[in-house]
Every structure is written in C-alpha cells, then in structure tokens.
C-alpha cells in the first residue's frame, strides 16, 4: 500500500527482482535516472537461471518473490527480468495490489524507434524467445516490422561466472547472432537483463552499424513515467538507499556487481522464500 507523506510522494522503496545479477543492470539505470529513489532488490540466486524453466515454474517463482516485495513493503514492483516479464506479467498484475512494470514493452518501443530498415533481431533466454512476447509487443507497435529471434542459453551462465571479456564468450555470441546478422537486422534487442553486462562484447561482434537496445535503460524510463503518473515519486528530501537480498550465497554475485557494474550492494541479506500454498483441486 502506498505511503504518501505530507510533502506528497512516497518514500518507500521500489521493489526490483530478477533471477540473479541481471536485474542490477536495471537497478543501475533506475539509480542514474531517479537518484532520489530507494530500491529493494531481490536476486533469486538459489533458482537462477529462470530462462530454462517452464512458464508455470517461472510464474510461481515470480509470485513468490513479488509477495516478498509487497510484504517489505515496496511501492511498486519492477520485474527486472525478461523471462518473468514474458510469462508472468499478467498474473503478477492480477495478483498484487502494487503497480507492476516489466521490461518487454519498454524494449519493444525503443527497438521500433531505432530500426531504420524495419528488421529487428531479438536475443534472450529460451523461455523469453519461446513465449513470443517481443514479437507480439513489436508488432503491436509496428505491424510490418520483421523480427528474427534467437535463444542464447549459454550467455547467462557465462555472465553469472563473470566471463565478460573472454574469447570463449565472443565465440558463443558470434554463433548466436550470426543468423540475425545474415537476416540483415539493423537493431538488436538485448532481451535479457543480464546481457547489458556483455554490451561491449556484443557490440564488438555485431559491429557499429547495428544498434543495441538495452531493456534496462528503457525499463528505467517506464518506471519514471509510472511513478510520475501515480504520484509515487520519492519526496525531494528523502534519503535514498539500495538494499539487496539474495535467496542463496552471494560470492559470485558480489564479484560481478562490484567489478562489472561498479555498484556497491553492501552485504546482501540471505532470505528464505516463503513458498506459496499449493492449490488443491
């Protein structure tokens, strides 16, 4: 429930979640755009990756994490995960009383604005690509745009391991994006919030003529719009902070957050996931 104070606005944190490190690219973008806002981040490190799981499992995980953010309490939920956004956004919106922002529509809007030749490539996890969520969102905005998609299941493990500048990673990227380049895509959606961590490597492989669309930056713009529209912005005098909680060990998470993202995430709390009750028919 929103806690509007006397100055107007809401000092409660924005709740952000992802399966692991990837959502921190969204946290970084929100902090740059909205430096006054506090953020409470949950990385579901016990169950990463989400991208190889079934839609029903990702939906259940997303509902469990959203319930934790709601209990915090947070004033809004940012699904900083393309996989969860592509399969669980509607159920989240129907279940929580908080406003929910995902990453698919902001990325689709930016991609349709960026393409010059009307051909967009999308890379993401298996679950995101299989859902067809980007194709639907892009075609709803520009019906005649051609979309070529490719699942890249090896990229999330490489990123979680911190292999951001490595010949092996460059070769994997190259294998994955070749069909998109052959199809003449001039714009490539990084349809997984982990992928901005590989932005220099991906740009190097695809060349400067391809525009990369970062779902993290575009999601931050959507968060600003939502907070303004709902009058939930933090009061100007509020003390902003970033708190991070993980569902399992923080070692690799901390290393990548600090080195690659230059984010001080403090000492993440390790939290228990309160399992949703099983529905009996």
Q: Which is nearer to ligand DGL, 57 or 95 (CB)?
A: 57
Q: Shortest approach of ligand DGL to residue 86 CB, angstroms?
A: 8
* 50 is a contact residue toward ligand DGL (CB under 6 A): yes
- Under rule CB under 6 A, residue 49 binds ligand DGL: yes
Q: Does the footprint of ligand DGL cover residue 156 (CB under 6 A)?
A: yes
Handedness of CA 108, 217, 149, 116 (dihedral sign): positive
Among 12, 19, 105, 149, binds ligand DGL (CB under 6 A): 19
Nearest-approach distance from CB 93 to ligand DGL, in angstroms: 18
Which value, to the nearest 10 degrees, does the dihedral of the CA atoms of residues 108, 114, 212, 191 take?
10
DSSP secondary structure, 68-91, as one string: HHHHTT-SEEEE--HHHHHHHHHH
- Report the residue from 38, 45, 96, 128 that binds ligand DGL according to the rule CB under 6 A: 128
Which of 29, 65, 192, 210 touches ligand DGL by CB under 6 A?
192
> Would you call 223 helix, strand, or coil by DSSP?
helix
123 touches ligand DGL (CB under 6 A): no
Phi/psi class of residue 102: alpha, beta or left (left: φ > 0; alpha: ψ in -120 to 50)?
Answer: beta
Choosing from 81, 152, 219, 271, the catalytic residue is 81
- Contact between 13 and ligand DGL (CB under 6 A)? no
Alpha helices in 72-214 (DSSP H): 82-95, 104-114, 126-131, 133-141, 155-160, 167-182, 199-206
| Beta-strand relationship, 242-246 and 187-191 | unpaired
- The contact set with ligand DGL (CB under 6 A) reads 18-20, 22, 48-51, 81-83, 125, 128, 156, 192-194
Q: Which residues are catalytic?
A: 81, 192
């Amino acid at each position: 429930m929103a806690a509007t104070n006397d100055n107007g606005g809401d000092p409660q944190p924005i709740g952000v979640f992802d399966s692991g490190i990837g959502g921190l690219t969204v946290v970084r973008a929100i902090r740059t755009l909205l430096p006054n806002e506090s953020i409470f981040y949950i990385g579901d490190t016990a169950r990463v990756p989400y991208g190889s799981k079934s839609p029903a499992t990702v939906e259940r995980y997303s509902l469990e994490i959203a319930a934790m953010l709601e209990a915090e309490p947070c004033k809004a939920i940012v699904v900083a995960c393309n996989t969860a956004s592509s399969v669980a956004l509607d159920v989240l919106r129907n279940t929580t009383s908080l406003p929910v922002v995902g990453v698919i529509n902001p990325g689709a809007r930016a991609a349709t604005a960026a393409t010059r030749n009307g051909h967009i490539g999308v890379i993401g996890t298996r679950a995101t690509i299989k859902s067809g969520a980007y194709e639907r969102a892009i075609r709803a905005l520009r019906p005649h745009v051609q979309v070529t998609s490719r699942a890249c299941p090896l990229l999330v493990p490489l990123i979680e391991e911190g292999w951001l500048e490595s010949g092996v990673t460059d070769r994997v990227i190259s294998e994955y994006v070749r069909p998109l380049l052959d199809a003449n895509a001039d714009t490539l959606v990084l349809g997984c919030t982990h992928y901005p961590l590989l932005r220099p490597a991906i740009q190097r492989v695809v060349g400067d003529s391809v525009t990369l669309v970062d779902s993290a930056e575009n999601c931050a713009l959507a968060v600003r719009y939502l907070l303004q529209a709902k009058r939930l912005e933090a009061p100007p005098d509020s003390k902003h902070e970033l708190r991070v909680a993980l569902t399992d060990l923080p070692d690799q998470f901390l290393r990548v957050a600090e080195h690659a993202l230059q984010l001080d995430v403090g000492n993440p709390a390790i939290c228990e996931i309160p399992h949703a009750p099983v529905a009996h028919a």
